[in-house]
Chains A and B, each alone.
Chain A
Amino acid sequence: MKKQNMFFRMITASLLRRRSRMLVALLAIMVGATILSGLVTIYYDVPRQMGEQFRNYGANMIFLPAGDNDGISSSDSDRALADIDKNNIVGVAPYRYETVLINERPVIAAATDFSGAKATSPYWYVTGAWPSESGQVLVGEDIAELYGVAQGDEMTVSFVPANTSEVSAEKNADENTKENEKSMKFTVTGILDTGGSDENYIFISLQDMQALTGESAAYDMVELSISATQDKLESYADKIGKDVSAVSPRLVKRVTQSETTVLSKLQSLVLIVTVVVLLLTMICVATTMTAVVTERRKEIGLRKALGASNKSITGEFMGEGMMLGGIGGILGSVLGYFFAELVSMNVFNSSITFQPLLIPVTLVVSVAVTAAACLLPVRSATDVDPALVLKGE
């Protein structure tokens, strides 16, 4: 008991007496531990955060009507959605397509839920505003050019029920279809630029489409943007295929496959950078510790001359080193978390996930590195005859 007390007293006294030198060592360990915990936290969180960025590419799964069904009813779509983990769903946009007439020319009108479309197609570039209420329409750029409409203009959209032919209705519109034709006035809130075929459509809300056609038909397609790996998406698709027979889920290969390739590259980039930085930092910490201990060769020689055993000297130095390592490790893991948080806020605008397991890991690594760094110089100092050490070389 007494011996242990003495041991601790000697360690703390030596740390406190040589304050400035020990601060130097502590600072080095702390920087090392900060880099360790910060970088590893970032490494673990990057796939999740980057994955969210990849959702910019839009939908990675679509629901199509299975078999000969004409559409997906909203209840079937909801049942299918229930199979997917809610937290992973970034957006869901149901679509219903009908051919409508504008100035007696057929145009494809897509009815959708605009908040959903915004989430599944973040790359859509709208000049003006998204429709927010009934009677508003978003017009594709090509259509806008064709009809010469701009934001704020009104356009009349008419619909001819399905039993009359759709495409050829343009010229041979007979009396009968004229009677069945329903019209609605829409205000253009924005022009849509996507660089794809969507520019040839007009977009209205599902409710307006129902009012225009007078029937609440099912969805033709549901677009989903899910933040998950390709394997996970495949398992979702399998499950939905089994559970809901009316829905045929399909992965958008172009998005899922490419995402897997690029994301794995990015992840291994961060991994390798982390490993290289860590390796160099650890060596840096070790050299600093070695320098600090080597400086004290005289003290080691003096103790030996006074009769201390090699073992007790080594033990004491190691104790000191481990204590420094422990304090540095704790400070470092706290600082590292803040560092990771700072990076995450700056880059991704979102908070980083705290990895509780990293605190013990950082502690163990910093204690081990400092102890190993102390061990070598102490060994070499104790091996030498005290008289030689005290004389100086």
Chain B
Amino acid sequence: MFFRMLRGALFRQKGKMLMIAFTILLGASLATAMLNVMLDVGDKVNQELKTYGANITVKPKESSIMQDLYGISDDGDIQNVHLLESELGNIKTIFWAFNIVDYTPFIDTKVTVGSDTEAKLVGTWFNHHLELPTGETLDTGIANLRTWWDISDGEWIDEQKGNSADTAMVGKALAEKENIKVGDTINVSSTYGTQALRVAAIFDAGGDEDDYIYTSLAPAQKLANGEGFLSSIEVSALTTPDNELARKAAKNPAALSVSQYETWYCTAYVSSICYQIQEVITDSVASPVRQVAESEGAIMDKTQLLMILITIFSLIGSALGISNLVTASVMERSNEIGLMKAIGAKDGSVLGVVLTEIMITAIVGGVAGYFVGYGFAQVIGQSVFGSAIEMKVIVIPIVAILILAVTLAGSLPAIKMLLRLRPAEVLHGR
């Protein structure tokens, strides 16, 4: 009997039930889309912020002071103070390896260009292809870490094309001073030798780098007399904004208690990633580039908070809309409820029939809404960030609980109120 009544109600009032299901579908899809976007926006914005370049620099211990105090070292101290090229792969083996998006080695040395102009020559990766021991591959280099460079003439050096050997990119200021053009071959020399480099591009970096020459690692190492040596590594990592714990740890990890240390070590704070890099690169000091690291934290916090508030607000909005409609549709059925009571139905069974009806509608609407919401989330992800939004499993129970709670909250008071009415009055029409 219960099921016959249920079926009857669901199919006879097809239009009305469809409308409720549709509204619930809208609400559920809104909740799904917003929650998913909100949960993923941190990662996405973090990726976007990578255009600001590296947020960690790795230098040999003791090097920074000596190098910077005496200007560019031309005494060949790369022999004494250096990082090892052979250890580069280690960076992708740390605990937070997955968060390391890009990293690039640098070796700089002072050279003479042409007759007697002194310039800084930097050996680096442009778009180096890495085969990691873990089986992953990674394309990394300054093409990713210097996105703001404007190539005024020529093209980025493409290491994968295989014609990158002995090519160079020259800063705009230096090119103007020396009248260097794309396609020219320049002779650079240091105390350790001479190298002919073909100019592939002239770039405008809007900074000191406009006076530098960039080439691959090998020729630069030869000119610096430091085969297999590096002077610094820049790392671009996805990080979690700093908090009190991270600040405390950054000063001295030894001051933490064991559990604090574990929390810190296993969270992607910039300081813990620095610490882990130092563990795998011999005699290195990894320090956060505060300009990038701090600002990233601030911007990510703000964006996330903004999205959370918008999400909460639209959830409240759709909750109100759904419970509104459910209340309206229950109220409408005062006649039917009156009739049921008049022929002897108990309050409990009336409640049961009406609630089950609405719950079935809600579940149908909610499930359909989840998939529509999935679509909306992907539309947002693709059109804004050009990549898919990761669907979090946690969203499913949240949306389910939300929809059930909202339909219950919308229907229960209305049914209770109708049950309190006298059947005769209701049937008579108030």
Contacts and interface: CB of A to CB of B under 8 A. Distances in A.
Interface in A201-256: 250-256
Interface in A65-124: 105-107, 121-124
Contacts of B204: 253
A292 to B, nearest CB: 6
A288 B328 contact: yes
A343 B292 CA distance: 26
B247 to A, nearest CB: 9
Nearest to B314: A277
Contacts of B295: 53-54, 56-57, 123
Contact of A277 (B16, B34, B150, B305): B34
A194 interface: yes
B147 A123 contact: no
A38 interface: yes
Given A146-B65, A284-B23, A272 B206 contact: no
B37 interface: yes
Interface stretch (B43-51, B135-143, B180-188, B338-346): B43-51
A42 interface: yes
A284 B27 contact: yes
Contact of A288 (B147, B313, B325): B325
Contact of B52 (A193, A258, A276, A339): A258
Nearest to B31: A280
Interface string B376-397: 1001100111000000000000
Contacts of A57: 52, 291-292, 295
Contact of A253 (B48, B148, B318, B331): B148
A162 interface: no
Nearest to B52: A258
Contacts of A195: 57, 287-291, 293
B332 A273 contact: no
Contacts of B30: 276-277, 280-281
Interface in B62-108: 64-65, 68-71
Interface stretch (B115-123, B125-133, B276-284, B296-304): B296-304
Contacts of A347: 302, 305-306, 309
Interface in A24-45: 24, 27-28, 31-32, 34-35, 38-39, 42
A31 B320 contact: yes
B267 interface: no
A354 to B, nearest CB: 18
Interface string A153-186: 0000000000000010000000000000000000
B384 A252 contact: no
A272 B384 contact: yes
A194 B289 CA distance: 7
Nearest to B205: A253
B19 interface: yes
Contacts of A254: 52-53, 148, 205-207
Contacts of B332: 295
Contacts of A193: 290
Interface string A262-290: 10011011101100110011011101101
Nearest to B149: A253
B290 A194 contact: yes
A136 B314 CA distance: 53
Among A32, A125, A287, A348, chain B packs the most CB atoms within 10 A around the CB of A287
Nearest to B311: A273
Nearest to B15: A294
A142 interface: yes
A273 B380 contact: yes
A34 B313 CA distance: 10
A121 B290 CA distance: 10
Among A38, A122, A256, A265, chain B packs the most CB atoms within 10 A around the CB of A265
B310 A284 contact: no
A57 B367 CA distance: 44
Contacts of A53: 295, 298-299, 302
B380 A21 contact: no
B113 interface: no
A56 B298 contact: yes
B246 interface: no
B225 interface: no
Contacts of A272: 379-380, 383-384
Contacts of B383: 268, 272
Given A258-B52, A284-B26, A277 B310 contact: yes
Contacts of A42: 306, 310
B116 to A, nearest CB: 20
Nearest to A339: B313
A297 B61 CA distance: 84
A253 B325 contact: no
B112 interface: no
Contacts of A106: 69
B385 A265 contact: yes
Given A50-B302, A253-B150, A266-B45, A288 B53 contact: no
Contact of B305 (A125, A291, A346): A346
Contacts of A270: 306, 310
Contacts of B309: 342-343, 346-347
Contacts of B19: 287, 290-291
B26 A280 contact: yes
A257 interface: yes
B327 interface: yes
A318 B41 CA distance: 42
A5 interface: no
Interface in A342-367: 342-343, 346-348
Contacts of A348: 302
A261 interface: yes
A200 interface: yes
Given A292-B328, A343-B309, A347-B305, A280 B52 contact: no
A205 B158 CA distance: 47
A334 B323 CA distance: 23
A283 to B, nearest CB: 6
A28 B309 CA distance: 20
B297 to A, nearest CB: 9
A336 to B, nearest CB: 10
A217 B71 CA distance: 23
A285 to B, nearest CB: 7
27 contacts: A35-B317, A38-B313, A42-B310, A123-B290, A143-B65, A195-B288, A200-B65, A200-B69, A252-B207, A253-B204, A253-B206, A258-B147, A258-B148, A261-B48, A261-B51, A261-B147, A273-B34, A273-B310, A277-B30, A277-B314, A277-B317, A280-B30, A283-B26, A284-B26, A287-B22, A291-B328, A347-B309
Q: State the 6 A-B residue pairs at the shortest beta-carbon distance, nearest first.
A: A253-B206, A56-B295, A284-B321, A257-B148, A123-B294, A195-B290
Given A57-B295, A262-B48, A290-B19, 11 more contacts: A24-B328, A31-B321, A53-B302, A105-B69, A125-B290, A257-B148, A284-B26, A287-B19, A291-B16, A291-B325, A347-B306
